[in-house]
């Protein structure tokens, strides 16, 4: 595309300077500019010592500079604000949206986008789309579907580029990272059946159900399996009470019988009681790739520990970080301790109201990247059941997302709420697993509590 006659005066000089910088070192210009110059022919040789910058109209059919910049600006707006149009609420609340996500906000139409080459937007989508319009549609699928990404606040260019590539290449989404829907249903059925059993036979017990947050267990499966495959031998989990029993049963493999024995009231005259808020450690076995529906593979063993949390909600956060720091500090040689950051992974599960509501969260995050306290990174999961402290979100925080406080650190935030893929025959499959669960539990009345559809 010959675009050199479309610039005049200072604009022409600026574009030529960028192009010369690009020719010397492609990395000297930003990726969007480099992708644009990839499709540009070199400028014509100068005549009489200076290149003529004509003001004539561009050739018929050639895209003008305004439409090119409109496409680029629209693509950047989707990357920056696309999560504001993502349908994150499974209950159907409409997303807030943003005017910058509309093509007319950038002076372009769908016909203009259809006539532009896709490589102008850069990234994996720009390489594979048919045209500019197809590239914009694919960007919307990535950033404004059922999952949103918010990473533009990240100040490390390498991390920001990695997050963008991971999102737009969909490397962690099907079909690149396959999901076995039956295995997912099986796992969710274990979670739901356990909760319904507790609800049926212990109706007066305070148990902080995981209902509405069932996918937290498959998420933990993925995180722990991925860490185990990469040679991380130990996982530390810190969480409050919401969903704790289910995590103990299905992530740490604590026996159902022991959970129920501790869950019941102590016998009359008994002077001790094992509390649910105390810690637990389980040896968990994974098959490499098994959590991503790849059959077979070597067996990997990882020790998963849940830290005791008798205190209030988020106060377990610095305890977990301190334990992880101590566990990864090697003091077997003279001198300062050596950190083996790949030996321990810390996972913190927060409540949607407690995360922005308790100051200990911000204090812990603030120390996360400092040399004296870093643990090499922590996986933060916010369990958002939209209830919080029995108040709506707008009544308990001033931010759009419960995770906005995490902007004190650099990592990006994938935004997702919703339900996993549905599977035909799901109710029958849940009933079968529920009966299997009952067979493993202590003797109870012989009838099954009703399973919801």
Q: Which residue has the higher pLDDT, 104 or 176?
A: 104
Distance, CA of 264 to CA of 269 (rounded, Å): 14
Say yes or no to pLDDT of 23 above 50: yes
Distance CA 293, CA 182 (A): 10
Task: Check residues 227 and 6 and name the one with the higher pLDDT.
Answer: 227
**Within 202-347, where are the H helices?**
216-229, 244-250, 256-263, 317-328
Q: Give the pLDDT confidence of 342-381 residue by residue, as tens digits.
A: 999 999 999 888 999 899 999 999 998 899 999 999 999 9
Q: Identify the pLDDT of residue 83.
A: 95
pLDDT greater than 50 at residue 295: no
The yes-or-no verdict on residue 291 having pLDDT over 50 is no
| Separation of alpha carbons 148 and 146, rounded Å | 7
Q: Taking 50 as the threshold, does the pLDDT of residue 444 lie above it?
A: no
Q: How far apart are CA 66 and CA 156, in angstroms?
A: 30
Residues 347, 379 contacting (CB under 8 angstroms) = yes
Q: What is the pLDDT of residue 414?
A: 60
Domains of the chain: 4-169 (no CATH), 181-440 (3.40.50.970)
> What mean pLDDT, rounded, does the chain reach?
79
Q: Output DSSP code: residue 47.
A: B
Residue 371, token pair as written in the block:
């040399």
Asked if the model's pLDDT at residue 26 lies above 70, the reply is yes
Between CA 270 and CA 328 the distance in angstroms is 40
| Mean pLDDT along residues 432-451 | 42
> pTM above the 0.75 mark?
no
What pLDDT, on the 0 to 100 scale, is given for residue 435?
Answer: 43
On whether the CB atoms of residues 207 and 198 are closer than 8 A, the answer is yes
Is residue 185 within 8 A of residue 426, CB to CB? The reply is yes
Residue 192, pLDDT above cutoff 80: yes
Cβ–Cβ under 8 Å, residues 381 and 219: yes
CB within 8 A of 393, min separation 6: which ones?
A: 352, 386, 402
Q: pLDDT for 245-289, tens place per residue?
A: 899 899 988 888 888 877 665 544 444 444 555 566 655 545 444
368-419 residue pLDDT tens: 889 999 999 999 999 988 877 677 788 888 888 888 888 766 555 565 554 5
Count of helix runs (H) and strand runs (E) in the chain: 16, 9
User: Residue 411 has what pLDDT?
Assistant: 56
- What is the pLDDT confidence band of residue 46, given thresholds at 50, 70 and 90? low
């Amino acid at each position: 595309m010959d675009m050199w006659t479309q610039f005049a005066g200072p604009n022409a000089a600026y574009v030529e300077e960028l192009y010369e910088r690009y020719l010397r070192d492609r990395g000297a210009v930003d990726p969007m500019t480099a992708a644009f110059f990839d499709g540009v022919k070199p400028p014509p040789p100068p005549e009489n010592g200076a290149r003529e910058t004509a003001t004539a109209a561009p050739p018929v059919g050639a895209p003008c500079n305004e439409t090119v910049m409109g496409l680029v600006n629209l693509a950047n707006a989707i990357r920056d604000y696309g999560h504001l149009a993502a349908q994150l609420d499974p209950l159907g609340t409409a997303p807030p949206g943003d005017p910058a996500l509309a093509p007319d906000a950038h002076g372009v139409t769908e016909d203009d986008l259809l006539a532009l080459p896709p490589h102008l937007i850069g990234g994996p989508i720009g390489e594979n789309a048919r045209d500019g319009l197809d590239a914009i549609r694919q960007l919307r699928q990535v950033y404004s579907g059922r999952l949103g990404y918010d990473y533009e606040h990240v100040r490390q260019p390498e991390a920001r580029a990695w997050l963008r590539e991971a999102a737009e290449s969909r490397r962690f989404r099907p079909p690149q990272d396959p999901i076995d829907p039956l295995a997912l249903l099986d796992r969710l059925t274990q979670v739901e059946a356990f909760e319904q059993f507790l609800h049926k036979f212990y109706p007066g017990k305070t148990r902080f159900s995981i209902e509405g947050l069932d996918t937290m267990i498959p998420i933990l499966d993925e995180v722990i399996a991925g860490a185990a495959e990469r040679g991380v031998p130990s996982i530390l989990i810190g969480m409050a009470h919401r969903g704790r029993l289910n995590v103990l049963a299905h992530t740490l493999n604590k026996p159902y019988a022991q959970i129920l024995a501790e869950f019941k009231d102590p016998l009359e005259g008994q002077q001790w009681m094992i509390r649910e808020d105390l810690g637990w450690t389980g040896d968990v076995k994974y098959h490499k790739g098994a959590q991503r529906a790849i059959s077979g593979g070597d067996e990997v063993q990882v020790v998963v520990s849940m830290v005791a949390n008798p205190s209030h909600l988020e106060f377990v956060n610095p305890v977990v970080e301190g334990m992880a720091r101590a566990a990864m500090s090697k003091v077997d040689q003279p001198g300062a301790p050596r950190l083996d950051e790949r030996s321990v992974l810390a996972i913190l599960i927060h409540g949607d109201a407690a995360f922005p509501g308790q100051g200990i969260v911000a204090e812990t995050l603030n120390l996360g990247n400092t040399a004296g306290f870093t643990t090499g990174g922590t996986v933060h999961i916010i369990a958002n059941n939209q209830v919080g402290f029995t108040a709506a979100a707008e009544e308990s925080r001033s931010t759009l997302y419960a995770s906005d406080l995490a902007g004190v650190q650099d990592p990006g935030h994938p935004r997702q709420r919703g339900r996993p893929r549905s599977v035909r025959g799901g109710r029958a499959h849940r009933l079968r697993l529920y009966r299997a669960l009952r067979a493993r539990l202590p003797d109870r009345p012989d009838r099954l509590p009703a399973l919801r559809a």
